């Protein structure tokens, strides 16, 4: 987000707390729909429109008028009319795709350096980055299209189905990482690898700290930190043989990764539940 867009979003978050529960649910559905359906639009213009709608709803609420009565019982149609008036902004799309790719490379650079004996495959990183970018766009599109659709009456099983669907969508990207090989590989053993991992970890920490919405990125923290630790300790000569060539050492490394993955999926589950509630 640009500074202006972030400022508008922050103001929106603050003002939204003034809404009654029913009005807040009504408005946040509208907000989610417009943000996810406006990938090609200027995000600053969208945020300004959302803020204008919010202030109007708050004013109506103070006069005793509910959001559904003020804005209408067909918010999707009204939102579509508003979005149709905003021209496409391809630069915004390029920036978003670039941000997703940069975020992916920054996050996956450390996992690719986990084992010193394994080369960093630049070609695989590029291809999987493209896949995850398309997957992210697919998820955003799905969320936008289903915001106002009636959900299947599966109760808590609906969350299980969505969680499994998300796992299935993400899985091919991880499979590409493990099984796709290209000629563009480089080795970074020993001290060079340790220094690079440390620099990347610090860079990620700074980026994470500067994010307004840390909850969205929190699930990746356990995996990145665990893989960074593994990448560092397996490059220390005194520990390398034990960790990589003995059964207890390998079990310890595998156990650490399993714990990190469980934390990842657990945090994803929690984030999805909180977003829906």
Q: Which residues pair with 121 in a beta bridge?
A: 185
Looking at residue 53, what is its pLDDT?
Answer: 92
Looking at residue 142, what is its pLDDT?
Answer: 74
Pick the more confident residue, 170 or 251. 251
Average pLDDT for the chain:
82
Among 70-74, 168-172, 221-225, name the one with the lowest average pLDDT: 168-172
Q: Residues 75-95, buried b or exposed e (16+ Cβ, 10 A)? A: bbeebeebbeebeebeebeee
139-150 average pLDDT score: 72
Share of the chain above pLDDT 70, in %: 90
39-44 average pLDDT score: 79
15-41 average pLDDT score: 87
**Stretch (H or E) spanning 185:** strand 185-186
Looking at residue 58, what is its pLDDT?
Answer: 93
Looking at residue 155, what is its pLDDT?
Answer: 56
57 CB neighbour count, 10 Å cutoff: 26
Looking at residue 212, what is its pLDDT?
Answer: 62
68-79 average pLDDT score: 86
Distance CA 192, CA 119 (A): 13
Q: What is the pTM of this model?
A: 0.61
Distance CA 51, CA 84 (A): 18
Looking at residue 105, what is its pLDDT?
Answer: 78
Looking at residue 149, what is its pLDDT?
Answer: 67
What stretches of the chain show up as alpha helix (H) in DSSP? 3-16, 21-36, 43-62, 67-71, 75-85, 90-112, 122-146, 156-179, 190-210, 214-217, 220-233, 237-245, 247-276
**At residue 154, does pLDDT exceed 60?**
no
Distance CA 10, CA 105 (A): 28
Share of the chain above pLDDT 90, in %: 17
**At residue 134, does pLDDT exceed 60?**
yes
Looking at residue 23, what is its pLDDT?
Answer: 92
**At residue 40, does pLDDT exceed 80?**
no
Looking at residue 3, what is its pLDDT?
Answer: 67
Where are the chain's structural domains?
3-88, 91-276
- 79 contacts 30 by C-beta, under 8 angstroms: yes
User: Nearest CA to 10 among 209, 206, 217, 212?
Assistant: 212
175-191 average pLDDT score: 84
**At residue 273, does pLDDT exceed 90?**
no
Looking at residue 57, what is its pLDDT?
Answer: 92
Q: Confidence class of residue 22 from pLDDT cuts 50, 70 and 90?
A: very high
User: Nearest CA to 234 among 258, 208, 257?
Assistant: 257
Pick the more confident residue, 236 or 179. 236
Query: CA 28 → CA 20, 50, 54, 60, 149, distances in Å?
Result: 12, 10, 10, 16, 15
């Amino acid at each position: 987000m640009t500074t202006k867009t972030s400022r508008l979003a922050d103001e929106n978050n603050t003002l939204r707390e003034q809404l009654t529960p029913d009005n807040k649910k009504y408005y946040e559905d509208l907000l989610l729909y417009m943000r996810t359906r406006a990938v090609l639009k200027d995000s600053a213009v969208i945020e300004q429109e959302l803020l204008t709608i919010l202030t109007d709803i708050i004013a109506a609420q103070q006069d005793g008028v509910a959001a559904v009565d003020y804005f209408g019982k067909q918010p999707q149609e009204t939102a579509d009319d508003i979005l149709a008036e905003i021209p496409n902004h391809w630069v915004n799309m390029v920036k978003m795709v670039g941000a997703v790719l940069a975020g992916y490379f920054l996050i996956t650079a450390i996992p690719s350096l986990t084992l010193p004996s394994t080369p960093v495959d630049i070609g695989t990183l590029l291809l999987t980055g493209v896949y995850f970018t398309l997957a992210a766009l697919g998820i955003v599109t799905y969320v936008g299209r289903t915001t106002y659709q009636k959900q299947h009456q599966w109760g808590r099983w609906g969350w299980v189905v969505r969680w499994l669907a998300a796992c299935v969508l993400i899985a091919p990207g991880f499979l590409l990482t493990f099984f796709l090989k290209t000629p563009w590989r480089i080795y970074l053993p020993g001290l060079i690898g340790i220094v690079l991992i440390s620099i990347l970890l610090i860079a990620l920490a700074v980026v994470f700290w500067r994010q307004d919405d840390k909850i969205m990125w929190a699930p990746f923290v356990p995996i990145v930190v665990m893989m960074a630790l593994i990448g560092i300790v397996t490059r220390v000569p005194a520990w390398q043989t034990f960790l990589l060539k003995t059964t207890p050492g390998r079990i310890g490394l595998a156990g650490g990764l399993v714990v990190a993955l469980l934390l990842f999926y657990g945090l994803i589950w929690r984030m999805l539940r909180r977003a829906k509630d």
